[in-house]
Chain A
Amino acid sequence: MFERRLYYHIDWLLIGLVLAVCAIGLAMIYSTTGGAGRVYWTQVYALGLGLIGMAVAVSIDYRSLADKSHWLYLGMMILLVAVLFFGEVRGGSRRWIDLGAFNLQPSEFAKAMLALMLAKMLGEERRPALTNTDLVIACLLTAVPFLIIARQPDLGTAVTLLPILFVVAYVAGMPMKYIYAGLVIAVLAAPLAYRFGLQDYQRERISTFLDPSQDPKGAGYQQIQARITVGSGGVTGKGFMEGTQGQLRFLPVAHNDFIFSVLAEEQGLLGVLVALGLYFFVIMRALDAARLAKDRLGAYLVLGVLSSFTFQVLYNITMSAGLAPVKGLTLPLMSYGGSSLIATLVGFGLILNVRMRRFTN
């Protein structure tokens, strides 16, 4: 299966960039949790597992994976439903499966699975141009995991599935009129969704985002603190482990959702530009894999995986600067979280897989 010559086509540059981002993340986790503690080592182990997962994802030809994608998809849906019933409850939601040594968050893996499924469905070479039926099926395939994950409830992770559908459909040739229509509907439906579709706490988050000062001690607190954290960092930052906002816990979940704020505080604008640059090059390099892909299946798979990743990166960093409503969305590759790190690395394994096999038949 894994031919020796393929080894020479592995994109070592992308792996290097990804590992560089992971290293920054580990350093920031070290800083915010006060040294090499339990959290830090958990992340290190997850990185190891993730690299193994990546190796596995690289070694199996993505076309064979795509052939079995409907089974994999079905298995994933069963797993997600199982979580709803047997999952660990933490912080009021049911997202994790207790595997003894660690907890697994299946929804993180659902992203790559959905990308594979949609790529397979919309990218099969023998299909003619994209039809409306295709689009409806794609929407349904997305809606199922979306609704299950939203039930956990974990709206944040559920929302990260949507870019996959959108980007894959877009590159698969979705007519522009649908995009415009979708935008119009979104604008019109937003107030209704705000009023009827959201829970109170979600509405509160949005309204305090628009005016954080209306509740500076409550829901607006994190947002104000995020801006203070970032702004007080200045150009060169306060120094490694010298931050005050993160170190003294003015900013909550600093090693998790707000890890980029802590980076901005301790390393300043320079650190921010380095990290932003790394993410940008990771994404651009991965986009190259889509461009170079041998077939549409490969290109769509890369784009599917990448869209979710890119969306999460952009949203989290925007939130880190206090410029977006606070959502429980982690920063892929940097935030603390084993499932997220492993799933992301597996996703990059798929991207590497596509690029590596661009010359094979």
Chain B
Amino acid sequence: MAIAEDRRRLTTRLTVLRVSIGVAFGLLAGGFWFFQVVQHAQFKEMAENNHQRTLTLRAPRGIIYDRTGKLLVENRNSFNISIVREHTKDIDRTIRIVAAVTGMEEKAVREIVDRHRREPSYRPIVVVQDASLSQVASVMARRLDFELPDVIVQEVPTRQYPDEDMAAHLIGYVGEASEDQMQADGVTTGSIVGQFGIERVYNKLLMGEDGAKRVVVNSMGREIRTLEEVPPVQGRRVQLTINYAMQKAAEDALRNYGYNGSVVVLEPKSGEVLTLTSLPAFDPNDFATGIDRATWASLNTDKLRPLQNRAIQGRYSPGSTFKIVVATAALEEGLITPERQVFCPGGGTFYGRFFQCLGKHGFMDLRHAIEKSCNTYFYTVGNMLGVDKMYKWSEKLGLALKSGIDLPNEGESIVPSTEWKLKRNGERWYPGETISVAIGQGQLSVTPISMAVMMATVANGGTRVVPRLVKAQDDGNGWQPVTHPPSPYAPFLLKPETTAAVRDGLWMVVNGAGTGRRAMVAGRDVAGKTGTAQVISLQGRDRARGKTEQDLRDHGWFVFMAPKDNPEIAGVVFAEHGEHGSSAAQVARHIIDTYFAQRDGQPLPVLVPPAPAAPAAPATPARITAATTAGGAH
């Protein structure tokens, strides 16, 4: 009986076990069904996120050429070292190792990571841009050891400027997109966009389209194979209007004679900019892979302001070059004829005050007044014109306001008028002020680019152009001219006798007994005008003597066109602290010489370094000391 009961109990309990096991297996099957059928889509996506990685393939930016086909900007390959936090187990450890391996400060690495903390974790955070080969090698070694599965090394195209700081302000530089730029350019964080100059203005053309590569990675983050690859599309090739030889000639000449400053040369008919330079400059290569703090700080604190584009942002008193505007205005308004004579006894009295001339010129007509830069003549003519007529013609010729060049942050050139003064100071205009303005002194301040436009308008005999920097672009299907909006300025024509008289006068400045003889190029009929921009008034200079280390020497201007009768080029040289316009004229000579030599297929001119100057005190240039602020116009 006991055995039978025993049997029964065993059978019962065996059945319990059997049922329990059956239930357990049923539940398990249900669990797998739930994960593999009900939640399959979600887990499938998670698995793909695990092992598939989409890498951005940076599009190389478009290559930039000059008008002759010479390469100005290209790309090279550099290496970025980045952290992908998606694979990170311990970010502190990763930061520590990366810092140690790359020789960076741990704090600096942490700062970079913190700055990008809110971004999706699959997006690489670039810790080292343009890593050195040894940095790349040591990171790769750690990756092979599985020590840094969350650190990747990417090859990226990087901007390269072979001529370093040449035309730096014009070409500009690139850098990581800011928040606003990400919106404006439709790019993601970490993208490189233009920040300055042509790189910024024509960023859309130059940028290209990033590609993408979908790869399979293992749990160590190592790429196993590529699933799909959309190659990047390089940005468009862009051809500038710049003439490399002239650009180089301009910068070489300024350096050769020891000046900072600016040069702008235009093709008058089209407004194409052949040369645009500003010195001192910077090296855009420093920005290409993220500028380091020290370089950035020194560029920003440098008293010479290398980041300023003097050509469009520097504003200076035009000095005697303004006489071109006064002469043109007086002739066009019919107030004088070119033959009208004015007697110069060495100055003149206007509104009860004596205004100085630099010589006793005797009887002067317009041509000779321009040649000799006779102040008395222009005091007289300016007085006849009045300030508002002078303003009107400044604006017509393109000297006032902005030139409209396709570069950002252009400064506005100021030529005063009664309205302007009323608005600015709430004061009426005193006729005596007109006399100073007539020789380019007083409250005039103009940019080199607007000077160049003014010269181009005169060279054209009336048509005012808008300076343009881009000639053509190529999206891979051949060069296409870039169309610019038409000039907003109503075309007008100067009277032929106006143009002839002014050009004659300017020719005589260079080829006669004028102040611009240093710009003479035999057989090229250069016409031009020097000017001196006072840095400080003469009384101020006396007061400041010995009390300041600032350079108080005057600036030199030279505006020009060549050849006189059918100008092919027109432009301006601004020699900072050049003391006199003839210092700028010698720079212009080299540029003009280069232009014609290149045009005619002759060897380009070579600069001769100037003889070492006599150790004269530079702050006391030979000049006639006069008791008037309007004294120093040559």
Asked whether A287 lies within 8 Å of B36 as measured between CB atoms, the reply is: no
Asked whether A296 lies within 8 Å of B22 as measured between CB atoms, the reply is: no
Asked whether A230 lies within 8 Å of B32 as measured between CB atoms, the reply is: yes
Asked whether B29 lies within 8 Å of A276 as measured between CB atoms, the reply is: yes
Complex Cα gap A50–B43 (Å): 38
Given contacts A276-B25, A287-B14, A299-B10, contact A231 B40 (CB under 8 A): yes
Q: Which of B204-234 contact A (CB under 8 A)?
A: 216-220, 224
Stretch of B46-54, B330-338, B621-629 on the interface side? B46-54
Complex Cα gap A244–B218 (Å): 8
Query: Interface of chain A, helix or strand or loop or mixed?
Result: helix
Complex Cα gap A235–B43 (Å): 13
Asked whether A287 lies within 8 Å of B18 as measured between CB atoms, the reply is: yes
Complex Cα gap A323–B30 (Å): 12
Chain A residues within 8 Å of B219, by CB: 248-250
Asked whether A310 lies within 8 Å of B21 as measured between CB atoms, the reply is: yes
- Annotate B41-64 by CB proximity to A: 1 below 8 A, 0 otherwise: 011101110110000000000000
Given contacts A248-B51, A264-B36, A272-B32, contact A171 B21 (CB under 8 A): no
Total A-B contacts with CB atoms under 8 angstroms apart: 122
Asked whether B46 lies within 8 Å of A228 as measured between CB atoms, the reply is: yes
Given contacts A296-B6, A299-B10, contact A218 B89 (CB under 8 A): yes
Query: Interface of chain B, helix or strand or loop or mixed?
Result: helix
Answer whether residue B162 sits at the interface, using C-beta atoms and an 8 A cutoff. no
Answer whether residue A291 sits at the interface, using C-beta atoms and an 8 A cutoff. yes
Asked whether B217 lies within 8 Å of A269 as measured between CB atoms, the reply is: no
Chain B residues within 8 Å of A264, by CB: 32, 36
| From A232, A276, A296, A299, contact of B43 by CB (8 A) | A232
Answer whether residue A57 sits at the interface, using C-beta atoms and an 8 A cutoff. no
Q: Which of A204-251 contact B (CB under 8 A)?
A: 217-218, 225, 227-235, 244-245, 248-250
Asked whether B37 lies within 8 Å of A269 as measured between CB atoms, the reply is: yes
Answer whether residue B31 sits at the interface, using C-beta atoms and an 8 A cutoff. yes
Please name the residue on chain B nearest to A229 by beta carbon: B47
Asked whether A245 lies within 8 Å of B47 as measured between CB atoms, the reply is: yes
Answer whether residue B363 sits at the interface, using C-beta atoms and an 8 A cutoff. no
- Annotate B218-260 by CB proximity to A: 1 below 8 A, 0 otherwise: 1110001000000000000000000000000000000000000
Chain A residues within 8 Å of B46, by CB: 228, 231-232
Stretch of A73-81, A89-97, A314-322 on the interface side? A314-322
Stretch of A20-28, A109-117, A142-150, A278-286 on the interface side? A278-286
Min CB gap A145→B, angstroms: 23
Answer whether residue B430 sits at the interface, using C-beta atoms and an 8 A cutoff. no
Chain B residues within 8 Å of A230, by CB: 32, 35-36, 43
Which of B29, B39, B89, B216 is most buried by chain A, counting CB atoms within 10 A of its CB? B29
Please name the residue on chain A nearest to B40 by beta carbon: A234
Min CB gap A334→B, angstroms: 15
Given contacts A217-B88, A244-B50, A283-B21, contact A233 B36 (CB under 8 A): yes
Chain B residues within 8 Å of A321, by CB: 28, 31-32, 35
Complex Cα gap A290–B17 (Å): 12
Given contacts A244-B51, A245-B50, A287-B14, contact A228 B28 (CB under 8 A): no
| From B25, B32, B50, contact of A279 by CB (8 A) | B25
Min CB gap B27→A, angstroms: 9
Asked whether A228 lies within 8 Å of B25 as measured between CB atoms, the reply is: no
Answer whether residue B13 sits at the interface, using C-beta atoms and an 8 A cutoff. yes
Min CB gap A317→B, angstroms: 6
Min CB gap B320→A, angstroms: 75
Answer whether residue A183 sits at the interface, using C-beta atoms and an 8 A cutoff. no
Answer whether residue A304 sits at the interface, using C-beta atoms and an 8 A cutoff. no
Answer whether residue B68 sits at the interface, using C-beta atoms and an 8 A cutoff. no
- Annotate A262-281 by CB proximity to B: 1 below 8 A, 0 otherwise: 00100011001100100110
Answer whether residue B144 sits at the interface, using C-beta atoms and an 8 A cutoff. no
Answer whether residue A7 sits at the interface, using C-beta atoms and an 8 A cutoff. no
Chain B residues within 8 Å of A229, by CB: 47
Answer whether residue B11 sits at the interface, using C-beta atoms and an 8 A cutoff. yes
Asked whether B36 lies within 8 Å of A318 as measured between CB atoms, the reply is: no
Complex Cα gap A32–B9 (Å): 46
Answer whether residue B24 sits at the interface, using C-beta atoms and an 8 A cutoff. yes
Chain B residues within 8 Å of A283, by CB: 21
Given contacts A248-B217, A272-B36, A291-B11, contact A318 B28 (CB under 8 A): yes
Complex Cα gap A333–B136 (Å): 47
Complex Cα gap A229–B51 (Å): 12
Asked whether B42 lies within 8 Å of A231 as measured between CB atoms, the reply is: yes
Chain A residues within 8 Å of B25, by CB: 276, 279-280, 314
Complex Cα gap A333–B10 (Å): 28
Answer whether residue A14 sits at the interface, using C-beta atoms and an 8 A cutoff. no
Answer whether residue B479 sits at the interface, using C-beta atoms and an 8 A cutoff. no
Asked whether B35 lies within 8 Å of A231 as measured between CB atoms, the reply is: yes
| From B10, B36, B43, B218, contact of A269 by CB (8 A) | B36
Asked whether A234 lies within 8 Å of B37 as measured between CB atoms, the reply is: yes
| From B13, B21, B31, B43, contact of A280 by CB (8 A) | B21
Chain B residues within 8 Å of A232, by CB: 40, 43-44, 46-48
Answer whether residue A328 sits at the interface, using C-beta atoms and an 8 A cutoff. no
Given contacts A228-B47, A269-B32, contact A167 B17 (CB under 8 A): yes
Complex Cα gap A303–B20 (Å): 14
Complex Cα gap A303–B218 (Å): 44
Q: Which of B402-423 contact A (CB under 8 A)?
A: none
Chain A residues within 8 Å of B296, by CB: none
Asked whether B10 lies within 8 Å of A296 as measured between CB atoms, the reply is: yes
Complex Cα gap A317–B2 (Å): 40
Please name the residue on chain B nearest to A221 by beta carbon: B89
Asked whether B50 lies within 8 Å of A228 as measured between CB atoms, the reply is: yes
Chain B residues within 8 Å of A35, by CB: none
Complex Cα gap A337–B33 (Å): 28
Complex Cα gap A284–B29 (Å): 17
Answer whether residue A170 sits at the interface, using C-beta atoms and an 8 A cutoff. yes
Chain A residues within 8 Å of B18, by CB: 284, 287
Chain B residues within 8 Å of A299, by CB: 10
Answer whether residue A173 sits at the interface, using C-beta atoms and an 8 A cutoff. yes
Chain A residues within 8 Å of B24, by CB: 314
Chain B residues within 8 Å of A227, by CB: 35, 43
Asked whether A248 lies within 8 Å of B17 as measured between CB atoms, the reply is: no
Min CB gap B257→A, angstroms: 65
9 tightest Cβ-Cβ pairs between the two chains A and B? A231-B43, A232-B47, A248-B218, A231-B35, A249-B219, A269-B36, A244-B51, A250-B219, A232-B43
The 18 sampled A-B contact pairs (Cβ below 8 Å) are: A230-B35, A231-B40, A231-B42, A231-B44, A244-B50, A250-B219, A264-B32, A269-B32, A272-B32, A272-B36, A276-B25, A280-B21, A280-B22, A280-B25, A299-B10, A310-B21, A314-B24, A321-B35
